[in-house]
Amino acid sequence: MQAAARLLQLAGLTIPVLAMVAQLMNRIRAGQMLQFLVVAVCLFSAGYILQVYGPRK
């Protein structure tokens, strides 16, 4: 469970960087970038909640 939580957190930290690069290259609009950022926050939060409140070894 810890590995899944870390993977979600990593995805949540990677998506904003990719969204900003895509927006700077004019491949996506600002509204789409904000949608990616909202998804990233949700993924990171889910990973954090799994890590903190998930089963312990």
User: Which pLDDT tens digit goes with each residue over 11-28?
Assistant: 999 999 999 999 999 999
pTM of the model: 0.88
Residues in Cβ contact with 3 at an 8 Å cutoff, skipping those fewer than 6 apart: none
Provide the mean pLDDT of the chain.
95
Gyration radius (Cα) of the chain, Å: 13
% residues pLDDT > 70 (the chain): 98
